[in-house]
Amino acid sequence: MRLCFDATKFGGGLDGAIELAAAKGLPAIEYTFAAFTTPAKGVQEVKGKEKNYLETTAKSAKDKGIEIACLSLDYLHKPGDKTSFKKFEGMLTKLAEVASILDCHRVAFLLNPGEDAAWKEKFEQEFQQLLPMFQSREVKPLLRLATPLDYRGVSLKRWHAMEPQDWRDLISGCPELSLSFSPGDCLWLGIDYLQILSGVTAAIEHIEAHDIEINRSMLKDSGMFGPLWWRYRQIGKGQVDWTQFIEALKFYDYQGVFSIHLDDEFIDGDELALANALDDGIQRIAPLLKG
């Protein structure tokens, strides 16, 4: 396993993320892109100053021994919706091209599950259109299992997450699709993140290490469809058992990336708190990954 961190919140761009990783002694970074506009027609080409910047960034990463492990997209695609797919395809094509220039081999995305099982079949058809684009750039597509940004803090009355059978169906129906797995999201959904690993580890390429705090009193009082009763916390301040989880990953011979995420509302936007939280996460996780 290679230790990584999501550098997006530090605000220094990809080049700043590489510098930070080198300063912290981390071998890899992850970076997330908000939804962006793409041309209505034509190839999502990367050229000019943008291409020069990416090539320079790729060389800097190589010189410093930093892997750009994953580029993630914060756009929630609704399978079967033609307008959504047009945007989704354009963004993924551009992001895969960026990843190729950066020598990054993983691009992760989000899906909005539909109200009936047909949504999976619709996505399988869409995925067949996307797969040649990923293959030509030697980029592996990953399905993110973390909670979409727009739904963090939103009652389950207004949305629902994917269940493990959805993951299995999509992996089965979409060749070369892998998972970006979040043990914290399993925890708040009532899924045993240790027990389920035996059946899904082979499909996991990336770990999003969110910790989770569950307010049991609020949950008992209002139920799972009541006011929000869970939230992301930095590693060590939630209820995920990281020692057991990492030992389980070792047992199942997980060889991918373990990425520290800092989506704790108590440190959002505070640069010093972000740096301290990253240092704390490294100190907690790095010794566990050894051996």
Task: Dump the DSSP string for 140-200.
Answer: EEEEE-SPPGGGTT--TTS-----HHHHHHHHHHSTT-EEEE-HHHHHHTT--TTTTHHHH
Q: Angle CA(105)–CA(144)–CA(219) in degrees, nearest 5?
A: 155
User: Which residue is it, tokens 């997209």?
Assistant: 73
Three-state SS string across 14-60, please? HHHHHHHHHHHCCCEEEEEEECCCCCCCCCCCCCHHHHHHHHHHHHH
Domain boundaries, the chain: 2-289
What homologous superfamily is domain 2-289 in, according to CATH?
Divalent-metal-dependent TIM barrel enzymes (3.20.20.150)
Tens digits of pLDDT across the chain (291 residues) = 999 999 999 999 999 999 999 999 999 999 999 999 887 665 568 889 999 999 999 999 999 999 999 999 999 999 999 999 999 999 999 999 999 999 999 999 999 998 888 999 999 999 999 999 999 999 999 999 999 999 998 999 999 999 999 999 999 999 999 999 999 999 999 999 999 999 999 999 999 999 999 999 999 999 999 988 999 999 999 999 999 999 999 999 999 999 999 999 898 778 899 999 999 999 999 999 997
Residue 44's pLDDT is what? 65
Tell which residue, 252, 149, 225, 235, has the closest CA to residue 184. 235
Q: How is residue 211 annotated by DSSP?
A: E
Residue 38's pLDDT is what? 85
Residue 18's pLDDT is what? 97
